[in-house]
Structure 1
Amino acid sequence: MRATLPNARPHLTGAQMPSKLRTPAAARAHLADPTNFWDNEELCYVCGESFDSLNVECGGKIFCAERCCDAYLRIERLADKGGIRSESGLRTARVGARVAFAEEKLAYTIQARSERYLICTKPFNARRTVLYTIVDLVDQIRGPDNLLFSNGYETRADCEQRLAELLDPETCVDISHRRRIPLKLAA
C-alpha cells in the first residue's frame, strides 16, 4: 500500500537502486542526497510505505520491512566501509566502526573507546597479529603506547583492558612521545 503525498517526489525502491554504488564515496553521495528519501516521519524513510508490525529502527530513522530498506542498509554499510573521514564522525563513532587515516592505506577498526581515547586495530597478516594505534581526541594525536613490550591488542577484550590502563592515573601508560603523529583523517 503506497502512500501518496501531495508533494511526492521520485524515489528509489529496492529494484531501482543504482547499480553504480560500488565505492564508499558513491554510497556517501547517495545517502547525502535528500531527494532519494521521504521526509514524512509517519512513513518509511526509504520507500514511503506505511509502517506495520515489522518496522525496523536504525540510526534514528524508521523503515518498513520491504526489500528497498534492506538495500538502504547495505548502502549505509558500504558508505561506512571506506572509514570515517571527518572529525565529527570520529567523535561520535561507535566500537566496530572503521577509521581511515591519511598516512595509512587500509582503514582501522575501533575496538575500544572512551570520551578521550580510541584504540583502533587492523590485521597484520604477515605476522598473524594486529597493528594498533591509540587516538587522543583532545590533543589531536595518535600513536602506539609508551611501553617497551606493548602487546595485548589482539582482541576487543584486550583493547578494553589497555584502555582501562590508559585511563588509570596510577599506571604510566600513555601515547608514545617519540612515535606520536598529528591526527589526520583521509580525505
Structure 2
Amino acid sequence: MDYKGPTGVGNIHYNFAKPVKFDVEAEKERIRKSGVERPNKALPEYERRYRRFAKFLSDYMVGKNADERDDLVSQASQVSGLSFITASNSRYLGRFLRERSEAELEGTPFNKPNITSAVGYEDRYKTFKRAMDSKRPEQSFSDIVTPIAKQLRMSLASLYNTKYKGRYDKENKNA
C-alpha cells in the first residue's frame, strides 16, 4: 500500500481529510443569537402565569364590550391558574395595562385608565340598601348582590360585607 505523506500515529489524520476552515466570528454570532432564544434560567412561576394571562387577554379582548371585561379577566385567570381576585389585582391586570400603550388598548374593554370605578362607601351602601328594599322573600342575598357587584365592578366579597348589612339592620331597627 502506498500512502502519500507520513504515516505516523499523530499525522495519519491529515492524509484523509484536509482541516476544516473555521469562521470564529460567525460561530460567535450564532451562539449569541441562540442564547437569546434559549435563556439559561427557567422563568419563575409568577412570570409564566402572567405571560399566559396576558397572552389570553391580548388574543381575546378585541371586539369585546366593557361589560365583558370581568368575564374576560375571569377566563384569563382560569387559563393561567389564578383566582379572579388575584388576576384583577394590579399585580396582573395593572401590569398588563402598564405594558401596553393607549393605542394598543383603544377599542378594547381596557381602554379606560382606571380599572375599577371610583364608587365611594356611601354610593355602595345606597345601592345595597336599594337592592335590599326591593328584595322579595324567595330571593337569596347572593341573588340580589351578584348583579350589583357586577355593575359596580366589585368582588362579591366586598358587597357581602358586615358594614353594609349591620348598618342596614340598625337603620331598620331604629325606623
Higher helix share: 2
TM-score of the two chains, using structure 2 as the length reference: 0.27
TM-score of the two chains, using structure 1 as the length reference: 0.26
Computing the radius of gyration from Cα coordinates, the structure with the larger value is 2
